[in-house]
Amino acid sequence: MPEILLLLTATFIGAIFGSLLGLIPALHVYNVAGLVIALKTVGTLEIAAQTLHFVLLGMVVGYVFFSTLPGLFLAVPDESLAFSVLPAQQMIRRGAGYTAAMLTAVGVLGGIVVLVLMAPVLPVIVRRLHVLVAPHLHWIVALIVVYMLMSEWPFSNGQGTNMQRFRAAWGQLLAGSLTFSLAGTVGIVLMYRSPVEITVAYQNLLPAFVGFFAVPAVIQAFVIGGVVPPQKTPMALAVSHKLVGQGVFAGALGGLFAAFFPLVTAGIGGFLAGHATAQRDARVFVISQGTSRVLYYVGAVVLFFLPGVGLTRGGLAAMLATLERPGTWQTYWLAVGAIAVTAAVLFLVFERVAYVTAKISPRLPQRPINGLTLIILLTIVFITTGWAGLLIMAVCTCIGSLPLLWKTRRMHCLGVILIPVLINMLGWDDVILRLF
C-alpha cells in the first residue's frame, strides 16, 4: 500500500476509534492514547511509529468532535469543555441542544480551516516565536495566573444590604482563590512526591483531572437528577456568517495561544480569547470554544509534526515524544492533509449523530447514566493508577466541588498544573523540596 494511503487509512481508523471514545462519557482520549503508547513501548503492539502517530492524530480529531455530545447532553465535561458547557447547557434547557452541538462542530471545523490555512506559515512563525519567547515563559505563565485570579468579578443579583452583598461577593472570590491554592497544593504533591506508582507516571495527573472536572459535575447531575427537555432539530442554524466568523476568530486566538504556550489549556485559551474579543453572544462563545478546543488538541499535535522546531505541547505530543519524533516536511504536510480530510468527513457524520442524540436524549434515564458514568470514571482511575489514584481523585473531587457550590470559576482547578510548573519555571524548587 502506498505510504500516503496507509497513513490516511491509519488516520481514519484512529478517527473512528476516537469518535467512539468521545461518545463514552468520561473517557478521555489521552487515557487510551497513553495505554496504546505504553503497549507500543513494551512491544505488545506491533505497529510502525509513524503509522501510530497518524492513528493517534485521527483519534484526537474524532475525540474533539464527538466528546462534545456527552459533555453537552450528559453533563460530563473534560477540562476543555468545562467552560463552554454552562452556556451550552442553558441552550439545552431551552431545547436548543442540537443547535449547541452543531455550533460547537462548526467551531471545530472552523478551527481546522484555520489550521490548514496557517499550515504554510506556521513553520516560520512558530520557529521565530519559540526562539523569542522561550526565555520569557515564566512571567507569561505568571501573568495568566494573576489575571485568572484578579479578573473574577463577583456574581450577584443585587439583593440584600451592602454588607450582605459584600460577604456574598467575597465568599465567591475567596472560594475561587481557595480552589486555586488547594489545587496547586495537590499539583505540588503530585509533581514532587506523587503517591502514584512510578510505572504509571505518565497518567499522574489523570485522577486529579477526573476529580476536579468530571466527578463533581457527574455527582451534581446525579443528585439533581434533572431531565433533558425535548430538543428542537432545526434545518438551519440561526447564526449569521458574521457570528461564525467572530466565534472562529476568537477561538482561533485562544486555541493557537493554548497550543503554543505550555500549561495553557484550551479552557484558559478560550477564556482569554473571549475576554480579548469582548464576546457577549452565547452562540459566539459556543463556536469559539469548539475552535479553541480543536486548535489546542490538534494544533499541538501539528506543532509536534513540525520539523526542526522540537516543540512538545499538550498531553498527546508529550506521550508521542517518547516514541520517535517525525522529522520530515512530507510527514508534516501529510498530517495537515489527513486532518483536513478526516475533519470534513467527521463533520458530516457528526451532524447525524448529534441529531439522533438530541432526539433520544430526553428519553434517556439521566440518573442511571450518571451513575454508570461515575462507575466508569472510578474504574478508569483504579485500573490506571490504583488505590493511590482513587485517593487523589477523592481529594480533588472535594476541591472541584468548591466552584460548583460557590459559583466560582472551575478553571481555578487548573492551579494543579499552573502552580507547580510555575514554581519550577521560577527556580523555586529548592524551597518546595525542603518542605518534603
Partner 1 sequence: MKGLTHFISAVAAASCVPGVIEHAASERGLILVVAGAFGLLPDWLDFKWTRYLETTHHDIRPTPETFDADAIAAQLAEIVTMAWQTRTPQRVQLHTMQLASDRWQRYSIRFDNLDQRIRVTRGNIVDTGQQFAESKAQQQATTPLNIPLYYSYDGDLHVDIFEGPTLEFSVQRQQKTKTERVEVDFLPWHRRWTHSLTLGIVFGILLWVTLGWQTGLAVGVGWTTHVLQDQLGYMGSNLWWPITKRRSSGLQWMHSGDALPNFLSVWLALAIILLNINLAAQTPQFSGIGWLIWAVILPSLVMGGAYIFGQRQKRAQTQQRKTLDLLDELNEPQA
Q: Which residues bind partner 1 (CB under 8 A)?
A: 87, 90, 128-129, 131-133, 135-136, 138-139, 142-143, 146-147, 150-151, 153-159, 162-163, 165-166, 169-170, 173, 246, 272, 275-282, 285, 425-427
Q: How far is the CB of 247 from partner 1 (least distance, A)?
A: 12
Using the minimum distance from each CB to partner 1, give the nearer residue, 155 or 333. Answer: 155
Residue 253 C-beta-side C-alpha neighbours within 13 Å: 16
Contact status, residue 396 vs residue 196, Cβ threshold 8 Å: no
Retrieve residue 273's grid coordinates. 480569547
Q: How far is the CB of 260 from partner 1 (least distance, A)?
A: 13
Q: How far is the CB of 301 from partner 1 (least distance, A)?
A: 24
Contact status, residue 76 vs residue 373, Cβ threshold 8 Å: yes
Nearest by Cα to 72 from 41, 38, 96, 43:
96
Round to whole Å and give the CA distance between 321 and 318: 5
Using the minimum distance from each CB to partner 1, give the nearer residue, 221 or 353. Answer: 221
Taking CA atoms, 177 is separated from 354, 402, 406, in Å, by: 37, 10, 11
Hey, what's the torsion of the CAs at 244, 250, 252, 258, to 10 degrees? -150
Using the minimum distance from each CB to partner 1, give the nearer residue, 149 or 364. Answer: 149
Retrieve residue 388's grid coordinates. 493511590
Using the minimum distance from each CB to partner 1, give the nearer residue, 92 or 393. Answer: 92
Q: How far is the CB of 72 from partner 1 (least distance, A)?
A: 15
Using the minimum distance from each CB to partner 1, give the nearer residue, 170 or 329. Answer: 170
Q: How far is the CB of 32 from partner 1 (least distance, A)?
A: 35
Retrieve residue 27's grid coordinates. 473517557
Q: How far is the CB of 268 from partner 1 (least distance, A)?
A: 12
Using the minimum distance from each CB to partner 1, give the nearer residue, 27 or 422. Answer: 422
Dihedrals phi, psi of 154, to nearest 5 degrees? -60, 140
The DSSP line for 250-272 is HHHHHHHHHHHSTT--HHHHHHH
